[in-house]
Amino acid sequence: MSSYESLGLAARPLRAHALTAVTIVFGDDVAGGHRETVVLSGPVELHSWPMPGYPLLVDDDGHAQFQFELVGGPDLGVRGYCHHLADLLRLGVDPFTPSTGRVRQVAPGSDFPAQIEFLRSAVLESRTFRLAHRDPIEVRGLLTSLPPFAPPTVRPYADEPRGDGPFDVIVAQDVQVATSLPIPWFPADGQNRPVAGDPVLFFASSAAPLMTVLLDPSRVLERSAQARLGLEVGGRAVEVELTGDRVDAAGVEVLLFEDVARISRAALTGRCAELGGPVTLRVGWPRPSLGTLVDGRLAVDAWFELVTPAGPLYAADPVPLAGPAGGDGADLAVAGGTALLRPDGGVKARLTSLTLTW
């Protein structure tokens, strides 16, 4: 009977790079408020068996299980850029309330798949607010390995939804998802307790119900970036200048693995009068933007999205993005273009060209 002991896990804190996506409803009307799906990423730390204080147990039915804790710190937490707020968002661990859970065998004596479940206590911050929630966020998922790293090519859904919901989603393995949504968020006091009043926003139950995957990249490139975006809107050629500052959780983040490169997060903002005003170019969450970095040349099939005042537009096809790139800089360009679709599949515009530098 296996009980995880044969895996040889180290008795030390586990650091991972988390990719998180959450659909946010702004305001106090969860049914009718403005919705935006925001991708966040960053380092997280887990304390678990075989560290002291986190016992490994076998229940009466033969299921092996152990406890763990998601811990916080000044250099920990996920962050990303929110188009609606024109600001960064950071989701961290509430230091006043533990975030604890367990990993448990689904079938007695078989290590995988394993059920992960925990109660998460978090703090949500921007440059202008700090928010807290009243009830713990219940999180569940199925793991196929320990340490609980997903493969770098992981897709968060079993299907490929388009839009910010609401609609039903099918979550893939190795993805942790909140099950107690919607969650209202309120202004926080000095001990991260919600104060009285109406909620500022909600975490919605779709399209991205606070979904997280844990990855183990060998290197993380997070850079401020500039771009020149070519569009065709209503039969007219348009050029848009875009910028993204890493201080605002914008720009570009690339995760490097042994044989895979993944653009995990991107946000570059500008203005396009033909699309109604401010726009943000980002990479999508449902389909990973994957490629390679070989001999200083990055080649990625990027799934772009363009957020506009009327809502997000989604690339119909991946855009081949390639050029010299590394830690000191990059000069990337696309080959070809693609239609930009509304959530209902209708064509709103076309991406015709893109140059990206950092």
Q: What's the DSSP call for residue 134?
A: S
Report the distance separating Cα 61 and Cα 211, nearest Å. Answer: 30
Residue 91 vs residues 14, 78, 125, 127, 226: alpha-carbon distances, Å: 19, 5, 7, 13, 26
Contacts of 29 (CB under 8 A, 6+ apart): none
pLDDT at 329 over 90: no
Please work out, in degrees rounded to the nearest 5, the angle formed at the alpha carbon of residue 220 by the alpha carbons of 71 and 304.
Answer: 105
Mean pLDDT over 42-68 rounds to 96
pLDDT at 2 over 90: no
Confidence band (pLDDT; 50, 70, 90) for 328?
A: confident
> Mean pLDDT lowest for which of 99-113, 259-273, 317-331?
317-331
pLDDT digits (tens, 9 = 90+) for 91-144: 999 999 999 999 999 999 999 999 999 999 999 999 999 999 999 999 999 999
pLDDT digits (tens, 9 = 90+) for 158-194: 988 999 999 999 999 999 999 999 999 999 999 999 9
Residue 1's pLDDT is: 55
Q: Is 183:202 a contact under the CB 8 Å cutoff?
A: yes
Confidence band (pLDDT; 50, 70, 90) for 196?
A: confident
Query: What Rg value do the Cα atoms of the chain yield, rounded?
Result: 21
Domain ranges of the chain: 5-215, 219-357
Mean pLDDT over 329-334 rounds to 90
Residue 333's pLDDT is: 92
Give the DSSP per-residue string, 192-251: SPBPSS--SEEE-SSSS-SEEEEE--SEEEEE-EEEEEEEEETTEEEEEEEEE-GGGT-E
Mean pLDDT over 261-286 rounds to 98
Report the distance separating Cα 125 and Cα 169, nearest Å. Answer: 27
Residue 177, amino acid: V
Report the distance separating Cα 98 and Cα 116, nearest Å. Answer: 16
Work out the mean pLDDT of the chain and round it to a whole number.
Answer: 96
Mean pLDDT over 223-240 rounds to 97
Report the distance separating Cα 192 and Cα 99, nearest Å. Answer: 14
pTM: 0.96
pLDDT at 348 over 70: yes
Residue 3's pLDDT is: 81
Question: What are the phi and psi torsion angles at 247 (to 5°)?
Answer: -60, -30
pLDDT at 327 over 80: no
